[in-house]
Amino acid sequence: MADTSDFRNGLIIKFKNDLYSIVEFQHVKPGKGGAFVRSTLKNLKTGRVLDNTFRSGEGVEIVRVERKKYQYLYRDADFLVCMDNETYEQINVPINYFGSGVDFLKESEEVEILFNGSEIINVEIPIFVQLKVIETEPGFRGDTATGANKPAKLETGGTINVPLFIDVDDLLKVDTRTGAYVERVKS
């Protein structure tokens, strides 16, 4: 058992029977009353973020997690098959661990899987990926000032809104957290 003096960003704790990652925290010593720790916690299963205040020195259960790099191989129904980069062992990971960013995950992309013992807690996918446009309306020269968007289908099957000047075969940088177009990548 540890206490709030052991807090650091990224630490995994058990709180309200769920696992949370500490996003940020601040020790506060008011003029009156006892000190406390204001914290922002992220639920590892749901991704929901909540603010919580702990009394200074309050006991918390720290969970030791192991991070391992895996390579995403292919989709198999409701699972994604991933291979351990060191042992080449393959595991089936339920698709819900990947969140909405799964639509932008290319085969052979590297992911980080967090384990508590042998139980999968969470999967972290790259924040930015580069994907090719396979289908979109044709673009027109000079369509840059209006700020208008059009849908574009990517090589992974996901669809995002892009500026009008984007064409088929353009390579795009995409934010997997929001599914947003970031920029066109020069090939």
pLDDT in tens, 113-154: 988 888 888 888 898 999 999 998 886 655 555 678 889 999
Residue 23 parent element (H or E): strand 18-28
- Would you list the domain boundaries of the chain? 2-62, 66-124, 128-185
Other C-beta atoms closer than 10 Å to the C-beta of 11 total: 16
- DSSP code at position 164: T
Residue written as tokens 């930015």?
128
Helix or strand or coil: residue 163?
strand
CATH 3.40.50.300 holds for 2-62: no
Q: Using 50, 70 and 90 to split pLDDT, how confident is the model at 70?
A: very high
pLDDT tens track for 35-60? 999 999 988 877 789 999 999 888 88
Taking the complete model, does pTM exceed 0.75, yes or no?
no
- Those residues whose C-beta lies under 8 Å from the C-beta of residue 103, and which sit 6 or more positions away, are 156, 157, 158, 179
pLDDT of 187 > 70? The answer is no
CATH topology agreement for domains 2-62 and 66-124: no
- Count of alpha carbons within 13 angstroms of residue 125, beta-carbon side: 28
Report the DSSP pairing between strands 66-76 and 110-116: antiparallel
- With residues binned 3-state (H G I as helix, E B as strand, rest as coil), the percentages for the chain, rounded to 5, are 5, 55, 40
CATH number assigned to the domain covering 66-124: 2.40.50.140
Homologous superfamily (CATH) of 128-185 is Nucleic acid-binding proteins (2.40.50.140)
Q: Dump the DSSP string for 58-112.
A: -EEEE---EEEEEEEEEEETTEEEEEETTT--EEEEEGGGGGGGGGGPPTT-EEE
